[in-house]
Chain A
Amino acid sequence: MNKNRTVQLIKNKDGYGITFNAMASPCEVIIQSMDKPLVTQLADLITNEVWRIEDKYSRYNKLSVCSAINNNAGRSVSIDQETYLLLNFAEQCYQLSDGLFDISSGVLRKVWSFKGDKNETDNFPTVKKINAMLCRVGWRKIHFDQTQIILAKGMEIDFGGIGKEYAVDRAIQVAKQLTQSPVLVNLGGDLAVTSCRLNNEPWQVAIEHPDSNSDSYDNTSTDMIVSLKTGALATSGDARRYLIKDGKRYSHILNAKTGWPINDAPRSITVVAPQCIQAGILATLGLLQGNHAEEFLTEQEIQYWARR
């Protein structure tokens, strides 16, 4: 696994930008402070924490807790408090979404392969294949408590749906503990702030248009600018991973109960909430409602933007 784990500091007019790579995404932390030793210390604490979470929960890391759990399906694997709390949170999401959000549904990627091809693809799996894989999916087949977890044989769990947002929230905690200076943490588009900027100014965040890297991008589809004073922002969407068949676009969000992509979901949903993990789950839950996404999000009385 080749990881580039360098951290760069960039000095701006009123603060510093800290850039690094984590969780396969470009990440940045912006702090409104000119205190270089403080900025360096913040950079170290945040990158250590983000990489710590990545090393612990990434399914791409052979040595992670996630891989240890997946490689020992059928046997009891001991877990610590942090992992227990994350599993508990995943459980709550499973219940809230009526089973549509299920972190054991990752194995379905083995029958689906989503790239950004414009061409139609023959990569649609057969119903038989999907049903066979569905036997290996199902939160109810997982048993866990405060000290251990047992997956049924053949199952895998994937923290990908909550890992990045969780890392953002942890990074914000680190920043708040270290300094009063305004800090923004952005891990690949999932971001949060510790407070508003100096002089009570909001942070200006640009949300990328879902089409911004496809050939049909034209100058009229602009990125959206969001003003954020407190809290977090997360985006769920299919900007880079989808399938097209018979002219129809299939999102990479799969219905964990049927094994099929969600029908008629918006291309992307951006949600603002007090914490990043909350925003991320609400955006994902929105997408899982398919064509009822906007209805669902409006009823929840949260701030969101959906693009179709």
Chain B
Amino acid sequence: MNRILKAAQILRAALREIFDEAAYERFLRRTHVISSKSAYADFCRERESSQARRPKCC
């Protein structure tokens, strides 16, 4: 049971990482702000300057 729970936690963490939710949380912690429209807009801007440059494979 513990193993299943751990697997589910890891899957959730992987999905949150893939879908940038974890990155947004880190951004909020790093910039010491709470989630808001403007905070998310700032996060998107930061993301665009770094992550949007990464190629996607075929």
The judgment on whether A and B are partners is no
Q: Which residues of B contact A (CB under 8 A)?
A: none
